[in-house]
Amino acid sequence: MVLAGVSVLVFSLIHLVKGDPVRLALGTRYSQEAYDALRARNGLDLPLVEQYVTWAGRALTGDLGVSFRSGEPVTALIGERLGATLTLAIAAILLALLIAIPLGTISALRPRSAVDRIATVISQIGISVPDFWLAIVLILVFSGTLGWLPTGGYVPITEDPVEWARRLVLPAIAVGVVSGSVITRFVRSSVLEALGSDHVRTAQAKGLPARQVFSWHVLRNALLPLVTVTGVQLAYLLSGVVVVEIVFSWPGLGQLALQAVQARDYPVLQGAVLLFAVIFLLINLLVDLLYTRIDPRIRR
């Protein structure tokens, strides 16, 4: 239902543009034949409702029209770049979890300690730093001054795994830092809440060893809701990916979308926007499903 609405919105994009999008894209020098062919190929010569039905029908079969610029199928253009974007998004969220879970847990176990205060300050700043600015600073420090890592670009893992990893580190940090900060704060409050709950007190009163109480009663309960938060963060993180890709010349969907905006290549923009929305909705669906599976209270 939401997806249908989303598709209408994405479809409307090209029609909301002032003027004739095909004419805008082709510039001043083009033949009438080329113009007609482009309109026909993207279904723009049909009545509006018919256009939508045709467009949506084709989209369902994986045909998103052709680029105004290169004439290549949009699906192919997107396919080339999907891998790079997903790699970056997944690396970023893993990095965020890797830092946030231990940091948040330690903060909660030693509230008001030095570690807790430092973690709070870092996560507070982490939420406030623009990811693309962090990207620039990272490039300046690690590529410029220290010369440890390349400034950008992407190498497929199949070609050169080491180079792939070296090029992934900085963009993943830049994208992951906001999510990492949010998740750290969440883990901290979640563990604190679990520590104060009745069943933990009961377990302690029974004389269970502290380690067992912690791993069985505190962590399990505190980290359950983390699934939802991580999913939500993964979805939000896509926004950061769009901008950070530009800074690191990362050949992903974000870069494709921006290039399409600059080139007035509306079918490509439509395709990229639609795909991002589909990924976003899929993540949310997955989170819902996963959550009902792991939380017995909801299953009933």
Partner 1 sequence: MTAEPLPVEPVPSRPARPRWRETLVLLARNPTALAAAVVLLAIVVVAVFDQTFAPYPANEQDIGNRLRPPSWEHPFGTDNLGRDILSRVIIGASVSLKVGFLSVGLALVAGTLIGLLAGFYGRWVDDTLMRLMDMLFAFPAVLLAIAILAIRGPGTTNTIIAIAIVYVPIFARVTRASVLGVREEVYVRASRSVGASDFRLLTRHVLPNAAPPIIVQTSVSLAFAVLAEAALSFLGLGTQPPNPSWGSMLAEGREFIEQAWWLAFFPGIAIVVTVLCFNLLGDGLRDVLDPRQRTLMAGGGR
- Binder of partner 1 out of 128, 162, 198, 206 (CB under 8 A): 128
Stretch that binds partner 1, among 56-64, 72-80, 152-160, 262-270 (CB under 8 A): 262-270
Indicate the Cα dihedral angle 285, 291, 297, 300, nearest 10°. Answer: 40
Does position 17 bind partner 1 by CB under 8 A? yes
- Binder of partner 1 out of 26, 46, 122, 277 (CB under 8 A): 277
- Binder of partner 1 out of 139, 170, 174, 213 (CB under 8 A): 139
Closer of 83 and 225 to partner 1 (Cβ): 225
Tell me which amino acid residue 45 is: D
CA distances from 260 to 52, 97, 163, 257 (A): 21, 33, 28, 5
CB of 160 to partner 1, least distance (A): 26
CB 138 within 8 A of CB 125: no
Does position 294 bind partner 1 by CB under 8 A? no
- Binder of partner 1 out of 44, 84, 269, 287 (CB under 8 A): 269
Q: Three-class SS of residue 65? A: coil
Counted residue by residue, the chain has a size of 300
| Region for residue 19 given its phi and psi (left: phi exceeds 0; alpha: psi -120 to 50; beta: otherwise) | left
CB 175 within 8 A of CB 237: yes
- Binding-residue pattern over the window 186 to 225 for partner 1, x denoting contact by CB under 8 A: x--xx--x-------------------------------x
Please tell me the distance from the alpha carbon of residue 105 to that of residue 82, in angstroms, as a whole number.
34
Closer of 53 and 261 to partner 1 (Cβ): 261
C-beta atoms surrounding 91 within 10 Å: 18
CB 173 within 8 A of CB 138: yes
- Binder of partner 1 out of 57, 144, 153, 156 (CB under 8 A): 144
Does position 11 bind partner 1 by CB under 8 A? no
- Binder of partner 1 out of 87, 88, 276, 287 (CB under 8 A): 276
Closer of 16 and 162 to partner 1 (Cβ): 16
Q: Which of residues 58-117 bind partner 1 (CB under 8 A)?
A: none
Three-class HEC string of 192-253: HHHHCCHHHHHHHHCCCCHHHHHHHHHHHHHHCCHHHHHHHHHHHHHHHHHHHHHHCCCCCH
Tell me which amino acid residue 228 is: T
Residue ranges that bind partner 1, judged by CB under 8 A: 1-3, 5-6, 9, 13, 16-18, 124-125, 127-130, 132-133, 136-137, 139-140, 144, 178-179, 182, 185-186, 189-190, 193, 225, 228-229, 232-233, 235-236, 238-240, 242-243, 246-247, 254, 257-258, 260-262, 264, 266, 269, 272-273, 276-277, 280-281
